[in-house]
Amino acid sequence: MITSTLRRVLLVAKHASFQSRCCVASSRVQYSTVYDSNEKTFDKILIANRGEIACRVMKTCKKMGIKTVAVHSDVDASAVHVKMADEAVCVGPAPTNKSYLNMDAIMDAIRKTGSQAVHPGYGFLSENKEFAKRLVSYPVMIKASAGGGGKGMRIAWNDDETREGFRLSSQEAASSFGDDRLLIEKFVDNPRHIEIQVLADKHGNALWLNERECSIQRRNQKVVEEAPSTFLDPETRRAMGEQAVQLAKAVHYSSAGTVEFLVDSNKNFYFLEMNTRLQVEHPITECITGLDLVQQMIRVAKGFPLLHKQEDIPINGWAIESRVYAEDPYKSFGLPSIGRLSQYQEPINLPKVRVDSGIQEGSDISIYYDPMISKLVTYGATRAEALQRMEAALDNYVIRGVTHNIPLLREIITHPRFISGDITTNFLPEEYPEGFKGHQLTSEGRRELVATAAALYVSAQLRSQRFLGNLRVSTTPQEQRQWELCVELEKGSHTVAVSRSGSTFTVEVDGVTVEVSGEWNLASALLPVTINRTPRVLQCLSRDAGGDITLQYLGTQFKVRVLSQLVSTLSAHMPEKVPEDTSSILRSPMPGSVVAVSVKPGDVVAEGQEICVIEAMKMQNSLIAAKAAKVKSVHCKAGETVGEGDLLVQLE
């Protein structure tokens, strides 16, 4: 079958007719075909053949701007089709049953190279039904039939992952929804996730309230949403909306609901599911339409007809929602964090900022429920305006007592690819393949942070020298106006010269002058400053008498040490703490409860083997061995509650 969906497919449909149209090659034939390199089909195709047909397919792929992968036997390593390809994979020795007919080896090559489609040419596996079946079977999505919010969902790429995914997803589903039934459906790789808000009454009327772009996800759970989508044109928006309304009418639905779609790069859209409830991200639809969806649901439930017609539904401006979670974004883009909100301040003083939350200062975040703190929504006349407001809102959001995901949220909304609108559901793993590491400082950003830390340190020193009320000394000392300091940041040391004039500090960092001014209210949770005429809002999370300061800068926490030149010289003689060897121990990456322990002392485990399963906030996480070894001791059992960092298992 020939298809434009972004999945691994076998490009053979009615093989004879396909050959007659595409596979006859001759240097004397003049084609009238126009090859449009801007026409998006596939990024990479694997050619499961050799010789002239492989070369023929590669020529067309190159004209279409598609990268090619060649498979070859060991004796074909220098063959022409191998040289023509962008990538090549050896699939076995010379005998065809061990190479070009070796389905396992070819499937492995597809996975390793990330090929999106396979062209079989003719002969070999081109008409093999089993090969075709294996190409449309995996990957699959396993998900809870009663689920939502990413709970009870797993992607499986093979039989082993399907078995494990079935076990974990069914347990999660039973724990979260009281229903362990699962759905298994085809997983479409690298799409956009776009949904249509519908509203229907009991009188046969139904409306579509435009779309929401929900492609920024981790573990199949949405992180940042916006309305409208940068990707849809009016025709596609209307087609999706009309089909969503047809679905609602077909099942006689009445209330607010959401029809979710996967959308490929050609704007082909595929029905995913309908959520017959109010979505988490409904506020952004309210912002651009002016409708209160909760009010509409109540009216419909009472039996009132809808007050609006489809032509009354506008797209006014742009709205963006960031889901603020009590999570550690440096662990798998967000593992749960628990604790008490010792300080909490929402940025609702800023214009066109909305915060939907159910907590306050002093509230507890526990392991038993969803870790969402709030939905932070900003609105503007344009997308750029909404993004600027989101950036300011995140900088002004004060959350203390739990680890939160603001560092990740801020990096997403300021990422050039996100700003351009070039996103898919694979955005996070593609942009952060080694995991999220926080904001990466440029040389200018490093100087800004070092200068601000130095100015803050000096402000604290000056404050400690002042006394309220009567003077405790008979003479007033000469106030210092210049300082020579050493600032340590990210294993780097900077010699800093600071001078002060009123509330403005001139700081020379590595020979470059940085001017920092502000009110320097050390009792405030927020630290608004102007750095080289650019306004910034930092947060001082902690500081001590030893010069250790933790600053939140551009969303990310940075640990800085500010020392006098004398103290810096002496500190070089202090011994360093030896880091713990983590290869032989397994610690809990999050607080939670132990669901299962799969090993006992004396067992020999292989690298990657499951050791135990930890459940936190209704999500189950399988923890594995980092190396092959014998189990020395087990420090947990099923049913126990563990904290972040607790020792679970020790290996020899």
Residue 295 to residue 611: CA distance in whole angstroms: 49
CB 621 within 8 A of CB 639: no
CA distances from 206 to 153, 239, 242, 283, 621 (A): 31, 15, 10, 20, 41
CB 370 within 8 A of CB 617: yes
Residue 448 to residue 428: CA distance in whole angstroms: 27
**Omega before 139 cis (within 30°)?**
yes
Q: Could you confirm whether 277 is annotated as catalytic?
A: yes
Nearest Cα neighbor of 145 from 176, 124, 116 is: 176
Marked catalytic residue, from 111, 181, 277, 481: 277
CB 540 within 8 A of CB 549: yes
- DSSP code for 267: S
- DSSP code for 576: P
Burial 68-81 (b: 16+ CB within 10 A, else e): bbbbbbeebeebeb
Residue with tokens 């759970």: 221
Residue 70 to residue 48: CA distance in whole angstroms: 7
Residue 1 to residue 149: CA distance in whole angstroms: 34
DSSP 3-state of 551 = strand
CB 248 within 8 A of CB 259: yes
Nearest Cα neighbor of 14 from 132, 101, 190 is: 132
Nearest Cα neighbor of 44 from 96, 91, 7 is: 7
Which residues are within 8 A (CB) of 290 and not within 5 positions of it... i.e. 6 or more apart? Answer: 314, 316
What type of residue is 45? Answer: I
Helix (H) / strand (E) containing 529: strand 527-531
Residue with tokens 């209160």: 292
Residue 343 to residue 438: CA distance in whole angstroms: 23
CB 339 within 8 A of CB 365: yes
Nearest Cα neighbor of 387 from 192, 230, 221, 210 is: 230
**Omega before 528 cis (within 30°)?**
no
The two tokens of residue 247 are 């679905």
What type of residue is 445? Answer: G
Which residues are within 8 A (CB) of 466 and not within 5 positions of it... i.e. 6 or more apart? Answer: none
Long-range contacts formed by 244-247: CB under 8 A, 24+ apart:
244/196, 244/198, 244/208, 245/198, 245/200, 245/206, 245/207, 245/208, 247/271, 247/274
Q: How many residues appear in the chain?
A: 652
Residue 533 to residue 537: CA distance in whole angstroms: 13
- Active site members: 277
